Amino acid sequence: MKRFLTTASVLVMSAMMFSCLQEKETEFEKNKKRDDLILSEYIAANGIEATETTAGYYYKKDVENEDGARLNDGDIIGIYYEMESLDGSFIGAHTEEDGDPILFQYDIERQTLAPLAINLAVGLSNVGETLTLYVPSYNAFGDFGYGQLFQAHTNMVIKVTFVKIYPKQEVDAMEDDMINAYIAENELEGFAMKESGVYVKVVEEGDVSTDKSKNGNDVSFTYELFQLGEEDPFSKVESNPISTTLGHTDNMGFLNIGLNDLHKDAEVEVIAPSSQAYEGTAQVIPLEIRDEYFELGYLTSIVKPFEPVLFKAKVTAIN
C-alpha cells in the first residue's frame, strides 16, 4: 500500500464555512503574490537567465544531457542536492561526497518528494542533468519551518542532479545489503531468509502443544515496529493484542511471512525490505526534518522510503 504526502481538501457545507474558506484562500493568494514578486525581483536583480514555469518556480539547466534517459512515472530516481534560502543561508545538502544518492519513487499524479519543486522538475529532466530551481515558498515547504534551519514561507534556491534511475532489482539488492550489514554489525544469530527477502528469527518457540499458524488463521499478537537501526519503535502494541488473517492480500508481506508457522506464545523477530513493508513512502529533504514534518501532519508515514523495518512480535492466540 502506498503512502504519500498529505494533500488538503475542503468540503463547503454552509455559507459560513464558505466564507472561512475564502478568507484562507485570500491569505494564500496574498502570500503567493508576495513570493512571486520577491522571486521575480531576485531573478532580475541578479541577471539570472532562468525559465519561469506555470507552477511558479524558475529553473535553469546547469548540466544538460540530451542523450540521458527520460524520467518517467513510477521510476525510482536517485538525486543529489544543495539547498539554501534565497538570501544565501545554508539549509541542507547531499552530494557525491556524502555517499549514494537519495532515492524517491516519482509519481506523476502525487507529490512523492518534498520540497514540491523537485517533484515538479522531474518532468523537465533527463538522467545526468543538473538544474538550479528558484522556488517560491508555496513550491517549497509553505508554512512549515524548522527551527533555525529555515522559517515558514522561506523562498529557496535548490540545485538538484538527477543521477540515476534504479531498477527495482537493484533497490532490492541494496536493501538486502543493508539487512545483512545490520545483522553482521550487531552480531545477530538465528536469522534465516524466507521468501521475498524477509529474514525471520524465532526467539521463543512458545507452546509446542498447539498447532502452528498457517494461511487462513486469525493470529493475535503484540508487537514493536522499528525502522532498521533505530532504537525507538515508531509503532507498538504492548497490550490488547491486534489480529490479522494470515495470507490476506491487504496485509503487508512481512506479516504473512513472519507470523506463519508459529506456535501460540511464540516470539519472533522479522527484518523486512520495504517491498514487503511500507513500499512507496514519500521522501523528504533535508532528511533531518522528516520526524517533525510527519508530526505536524504534512506526511502520512514516518517510515523512510526504500529502507528495511524490524518487527518484534509475540503471538497471543491462533484461531
Predicted TM-score (pTM) of this structure: 0.87
Give the residue ranges of the chain where pLDDT is below 50. 1-4, 7-21
Q: In degrees rounded to 5, what are phi and psi of residue 133?
A: -110, 135
pLDDT tens readout for residues 95-105: 999 999 999 99
Q: What pLDDT, on a 0 to 100 scale, did the predictor assign at position 14?
A: 36
Topology at the third CATH level for domain 18-166 = Chitinase A; domain 3 (3.10.50)
The domain spans of the chain are 18-166, 169-318
Q: What pLDDT, on a 0 to 100 scale, did the predictor assign at position 280?
A: 81
Q: What pLDDT, on a 0 to 100 scale, did the predictor assign at position 5?
A: 56
Q: What pLDDT, on a 0 to 100 scale, did the predictor assign at position 175?
A: 98
Does the domain formed by 169-318 have CATH 3.40.50.2020?
A: no
- Kindly give, in sequence order, each residue whose CB lies less than 8 Å from that of residue 285, ignoring residues fewer than 6 positions away: 81, 83, 92, 94, 102, 113, 114, 115, 118
Distances (CA, A) of 49 to 36, 64, 223: 16, 15, 55
H-helix or E-strand containing 183? Answer: helix 168-185
Which cell numbers hold the place of 200? 525471520
Q: What pLDDT, on a 0 to 100 scale, did the predictor assign at position 295?
A: 95
Q: What pLDDT, on a 0 to 100 scale, did the predictor assign at position 21?
A: 45
> HSE (CB half, 13 Å, CA atoms) of 187?
0
DSSP track, 229-286: T-SS-SEEEEEEEEEEETT-TTS-HHHHHHTSS--TT-EEEEEE-GGGSSTTPPEESS
Q: What pLDDT, on a 0 to 100 scale, did the predictor assign at position 232?
A: 96
User: Cα angle at 5 between 76 and 258, to 5 degrees?
Assistant: 65
Q: What pLDDT, on a 0 to 100 scale, did the predictor assign at position 193?
A: 96
Same fold, 18-166 and 169-318: yes
